[in-house]
Amino acid sequence: MAADLPIILKRNQHPISRKQIDHDCLKVLYRLNRNGFKSYLVGGSVRDLLLGGSPKDFDIATDATPNQVKRLFRNCFLVGRRFRLAHIRFAGNKLIEVATFRREVTAEELPEDPHDHLHFVQNLFGTPGEDAYRRDFTINALFYNIDDFSVIDHVGGLADLKRQRIRVIGDPMVRFVEDPVRMLRALEFAARLDFSLCNDIYSAIDTHKGLLTTAAPARVREEIMALFRYGIAAPVLRQCRELGMLPHLLAGYPGTDEGIAMLMQVDERTRRGTDIDESFSLAALYLRLFMDSCPPQGGTTIAAALQSANQILTPHCRYFSIAAGIRIRARDLLVGCFRLARGHGQRGEQKFLRHPATATALELFSLWSEVRGDLKPLLDEWRSSINNPAGHSQPPTRRKRNRRSKKNKKRTPQPG
Ligand code: ATP
Ligand code: MG
């Protein structure tokens, strides 16, 4: 990178104002600074503030060691095995993360005995410049210095923000091998910010996409959930398909056009402001595959639909260690959609309609009906029967009459 870096923008050369920074975060920045430590706002928050957005969280980096940070704040807890981080807690479950500047470890630096790695890595504190270089993309490595309110750029991130492009710090061929999750993050930030990717990212993905299977599943899971939370699952997974990453990222997910069209509907719902949880996103991800595996009009039984949903969801949930509760909710959403797609007049319909999960299944089904337009009349029927259970036009089935008479029987007064 250019030798004339870092670039330092003084307070009057950039738009970040302290008013935009969370006031507890400011308190932490100031206290570190008053005690003689470097105290920077770092990462995504600086990027978002420079782009005029409001950051979702504020991270701090300092040259104080974790223990020194702990001594300054009563509400501070040290966490993390590999890298010790200080978490400072505030009212309302707010958490400000303070990290000591650190540097990347090269493979040659590691001690020969693997047992010594952990201790070695834990103590790899670095300078602010080294801390900037160990980060993933140039736009994620900008610092805001509370001491003089300047923005510090060691890696050319300001120019890339201006040009709206995602550039890996260093050589993507090396940085993606170090951490394959960065391939996914590159696509994620490009989609979130509507930035382009530098060309060397494409060639490095092409060479190293297979390494995604070696990434910690928990981290991949976290990034995939981020795609849903930011309403960018459709464009990113479509791009993953185009770049041949899908089989290494989500082995059981075919990424068909209809599957992606479904995710576009889900993304729009998220961007309209509806929170998304993991069970809903899982059901949305696999709905197309599920519907194909048990066509609702093909005489499939509920038991077969349940089995099919399990067969699709279980490998995903096992790989990513997703809790049974989430898997079961996703399964019930899929089976709920199956029941809705079968239409009225089936066994157990009233009970199904009264079930608290049915409203969510109906929401998923309504998104699916945007993809499969022929389901719209059915969706309208279900909506009117749910809003107006007594008035729906279907004749009661024999099964329902039986249920009613059973209920009446139960209501007969008991002796005593
Ligand atoms: P968001 O708005 O999603 O929180 P962010 O940029 O803050 O975006 P985080 O995942 O919260 O992203 O990570 C915080 C910072 O840590 C990043 O800005 C980046 O500097 C650094 N970072 C995160 N993941 C990696 C990685 N895999 N490799 C190198 N640096 C990373
Ligand atoms: Mg962040």
| Ligand 1 neighbourhood includes 169 CB (under 6 angstroms) | no
pLDDT at residue number 95:
93
Residue with tokens 């390494």: 211
For the Cβ of 141 lying below 6 angstroms from any atom of ligand 1, the answer is yes
DSSP label at 198?
Answer: P
CATH 3.40.50.150 applies to domain 164-251: no
b (16+ CB within 10 A) / e for 100-136: bbbbbeeeeeeeeeeeeeeeebeebbbebbebbbbbb
Q: How far apart are CA 3 and CA 5, in angstroms?
A: 5
- For residue 141, the ligand 1 atom closest to its alpha carbon is 20
pTM of the full structure:
0.89
Rg (alpha carbons) of the chain, rounded to whole number: 27
pLDDT at residue 410 in the model: 45
Residues of the chain with pLDDT under 70: 1-3, 106-108, 110-123, 389-416
- Sign of the four-CA dihedral 153, 202, 180, 196: positive
Domain-by-domain residue ranges, the chain?
1-162, 164-251, 271-387
* Å from CA of 200 to ligand 1 middle: 20
Range list of β-strands (E), 224-340: none
User: Is the CB–ligand 1 distance for residue 235 below 6 Å?
Assistant: no
- What fold characterizes domain 271-387? cca-adding enzyme, domain 2 (1.10.3090)
Q: How far is the CA of 288 from the centre of ligand 1 (A)?
A: 32
Per-residue pLDDT tens over the stretch 159-174: 999 999 999 999 999 9
- Cα distances from 227 to residues 207, 221, 231, 271, 302, in angstroms, run 23, 10, 6, 12, 31
Strands 85-90 and 39-42: unpaired
Q: Please name which ligand lies nearest the alpha carbon of 176.
A: 1
Rounded Cα distance, 401 and 162, in Å? 69
- Whether 331 and 306 have beta carbons less than 8 Å apart is answered as yes
Q: What is the pLDDT of residue 389?
A: 63
| Mean per-residue pLDDT over the chain, rounded | 90
Let me know the angle formed at the C-alpha of 356 by 355 and 357, rounded to the nearest 5 degrees. 90
> Beta-carbon neighbour count of residue 202 at 10 Å?
13
Residue with tokens 């999750």: 181
Atom of ligand 1 nearest to the CA of 178: 28
Q: Which class would CATH give 1-162?
A: alpha beta
Greatest alpha-carbon span in the chain: 93
Phi then psi dihedrals of residue 358, to 5 deg: -65, -35
Alpha-carbon gap, residue 365 to 326, rounded angstroms = 19
140 C-alpha vs ligand 2 centroid, how far in Å? 9
Going by alpha carbons, the residue nearest to atom 17 of ligand 1 is 43
Residue nearest to atom 2 of ligand 1 (CA): 44
Q: 164-251 with 271-387: one CATH topology?
A: yes
Residue 189: the pLDDT is 98
Taking the C-alpha atoms of residue 217 and residue 28, their distance in angstroms, rounded to an integer, is 33
As annotated, the active-site residues are: 57, 59, 136
Q: Give the ranges where 194-272 is alpha helix by DSSP (H).
A: 199-208, 217-229, 233-242, 246-249, 257-271
Any idea of the CA torsion for 328, 333, 337, 343, to the nearest 10 degrees? 80
Unique residue bearing structure tokens 């260690």: 321
